[in-house]
Chains A and B, each alone.
Chain A
Amino acid sequence: MRIKLEKRAEPSRVMLFATPIVAVILTMIIGAVLFDALGYDGQRTVKEIFFTPVLASYKWLDVAARAAPLIIIALGLSLGNQAKVWNIGAEGQYIVGALCGAIVAYFTQSVTGSWVIIPMMLAGIVGGAAWAAIPAMLKTKFNVNEVLTSLMLVYVALQVLSYIVTGPLKDPHGQNFPQTAPFTDAQLLPRAIGNIIPPGLLVALILMLGFWLVVSRSVYGFEVRVVGAAPSAARYAGFNASSTVWSTMLISGGMAGLAGILEATSQLGQLNLGFPSGYGFTAIIVSFLGRLHPVGVFIAGIVLAITYVGGQVAQTVVHVPSASGGVFQALMLFLILAADILVRYKVRLVRGAA
């Protein structure tokens, strides 16, 4: 008996839907074993990370708030990933977007009208897109691998943030802490609209519908898929790979920037050195777990948000280190990538030798 892989003529739709669920379940099992091996209570850790945030209703708002940036960033990344344009630097674009919004906030401190939130959001989008334009430009003009450049720019963005919050935008009344002045009331969004839904999640919901329309109903969505799946066919069809790089990079950068400024205005109320949270990296996992599909991304965003919130619960309850959530998230990405083989191949047990 041996295992034989047979390539499917068409990717299996059943597997496409089943594998993310299998991946999440396997993550829990492997995670429990791994944590046991490291000397923690594995079963309890898994319970706190994956189930407590779902079962305890007072955690739901927290999950929703964390899902918002993950979903918004991942929606943009999914578009690029379909075209095989790898924007790995969403974390940097998230930071720069928030910074640009904070710069607008700095100059509009005397404004009392809450319309001021609109230029702040726009600045966030433009800032994120501009940061992503650097790898796009380098890719199209100089043929530089966008994976490395977008990633390097995360580290540059961290330094820019550090410079700005300790220098030009430092809060004069902040007792020398590296942080900007708190946003004024006009510059703030509510943490949750009507105490039910964080504004970011509402935006994520609207964007999900928008992306779904673009991906499944527009020529542009088709173009992106063809460029990714069959570059030479795309050339024959007259699709320009260069403009796909530009558009997917700018859109994903803009989304990351928007997520950044939304987070800053609705959850934090100012920028400080603790602002970078790794959402830009986790969103890559969200995008793959969600199968690059807007609706899938929305669900995956909530799953990953659960592990963030659950990670904190486990930290206080089971006393596992704060990085535990990250380990589970990485495991999930490993497993979804491994499970991909079930979408493309049939696994068969065959008798006899090769």
Chain B
Amino acid sequence: MNMVFIISAIVTIVGISTPILLAATGELVVEKSGVLNLGIEGLMLVGAVTGFAVTFTTFNPWLGVLAAAAAGASASMVFAVLVLSLGSNQVATGLALAIFGIGLSTLIGAGFVGIIVPPFTSIFPDVLAKDPSWRVLFGYSPLVYMALAIVAAVGWFLKYTRAGLVLRAVGENDLSAHSIGYSVIGIRYGAIAFGGALAGIAGCYFSMVITPMWAEQMTAGRGWIALALVVFAGWKTRRLLVGAYFFGMLMTLELYAKATGFLYLPSQFWAAMPYIMAIVVLAIISFRDRSGSEAPACLGKPFVPNT
């Protein structure tokens, strides 16, 4: 274990965990408002294909990121209208969103298969970004720093701002929040749009940073991991980071296993590892929190005002 290996491992882990961190941060806000959006995987794919397509047409990766966020937010509105305005079942609707996103992204992306865009690489000078040691701080795509800033901002928003308090109140006790005059449905629309935007950005990380190309279902189930990550974090922003890096580590092991065939186990074992560990972790967390006290009290329940 030398320094170079450790640094390259850290760089890989931080990079690979960024999309699940972003998507999970968005989902955290959605769930804090009392809504369970299972459609993350579909939203990520819509973001991935949109980000790629816009980057390819405009040669501006920032426009790509913006478009990915907009696409994720708009796609999530389909879900929002159904569960908020029409009171449909959140589990089934979220699932429909996932299936829809997978199909729609494949449809849109059909013309973009096999094309590559310049990767969205570091904004720092090569002296820092390519330096064997300094790259541990400066060698990432701008999206990585953006993700960390967003996590910090969301943590601060939820904990210290009045709006954050209202959002949490809507998720903990929708009827009380409604009776003191807050628009439960309106706030939930906002939360879902924000979650959709972050899922969209998370998706474009796959098509613009990890591999600068579009491939069908390229997010490969990471959207579901992001959902598990929110539970793992106990709906607390800070713990999202710990969880994301934990899953990032497992995904990195898979990459190394594929590249070198090490650890004498079939590569499929390592590919399944993040999912197996997600299940194990969910079991441990849920067992410790049997009463469900950590989850927002109104999570998954439709809002029905007594009027």
Contacts and interface: CB of A to CB of B under 8 A. Distances in A.
Interface of A: 38, 86, 88, 134, 138, 141-145, 147-149, 151-156, 159-160, 162-163, 166-167, 281, 284-285, 288, 320-327, 329-331, 333-334, 337-338, 340-341, 344
B227 interface: yes
Contact of A331 (B100, B106, B216, B228): B100
A218 to B, nearest CB: 25
B268 A148 contact: no
A156 B276 contact: yes
B266 A138 contact: no
A149 B88 contact: no
Contacts of A327: 100, 103-104, 107
B115 interface: no
| Range of interface residues on B (Cβ < 8 Å) | 35 or more
Interface in B92-113: 92-93, 95-97, 99-100, 102-104, 106-108, 110
Interface of B: 38, 78, 81-82, 86-89, 91-93, 95-97, 99-100, 102-104, 106-108, 110, 216, 221, 224, 227-228, 231, 266, 268-269, 271-272, 275-276, 278-279, 282-284, 286-287, 290, 292
A330 B231 contact: no
Contacts of B275: 152-153, 155-156
A341 B93 CA distance: 13
15 contacts: A138-B282, A147-B91, A152-B224, A152-B275, A155-B221, A160-B272, A163-B269, A284-B95, A285-B96, A285-B99, A323-B102, A324-B107, A329-B103, A333-B92, A334-B82
A345 B77 CA distance: 22
B86 A340 contact: yes
A161 B109 CA distance: 28
A290 B97 CA distance: 19
Nearest to A7: B304
Contact of A138 (B82, B108, B272, B283): B283
A323 B269 contact: no
A148 B99 contact: no
Given A86-B91, A143-B287, A330-B103, A337 B96 contact: yes
A241 B99 CA distance: 30
A326 B99 CA distance: 7
Contact of A288 (B92, B110, B276, B286): B92
Given A152-B276, A159-B268, 15 more contacts: A138-B283, A143-B286, A144-B287, A145-B282, A148-B278, A153-B275, A153-B279, A156-B275, A167-B266, A284-B92, A321-B106, A323-B216, A324-B107, A326-B103, A327-B104
B224 A151 contact: yes
Contacts of B227: 148
B91 A338 contact: no
Which 3 residue pairs of A and B lie closest in terms of their CB atoms, listed nearest first? A323-B106, A326-B103, A330-B100
Contact of B268 (A145, A163, A330): A163
Contact of B100 (A141, A160, A334): A334
B193 to A, nearest CB: 18
B272 A156 contact: yes
A333 B93 CA distance: 8
Given A138-B282, A138-B283, A338-B82, A159 B271 contact: yes
B96 A334 contact: yes
Contacts of A155: 221, 224, 272, 275
A160 B268 contact: yes
Nearest to B38: A147
Select the residue from B78, B92, B284 with max chain A CB neighbours within 10 A.
B92
Contacts of A154: 221
Contacts of A334: 78, 82, 93, 96-97, 100
A149 B106 CA distance: 26
A144 B288 CA distance: 11
B268 A321 contact: no
Contacts of A330: 96-97, 99-100, 103-104
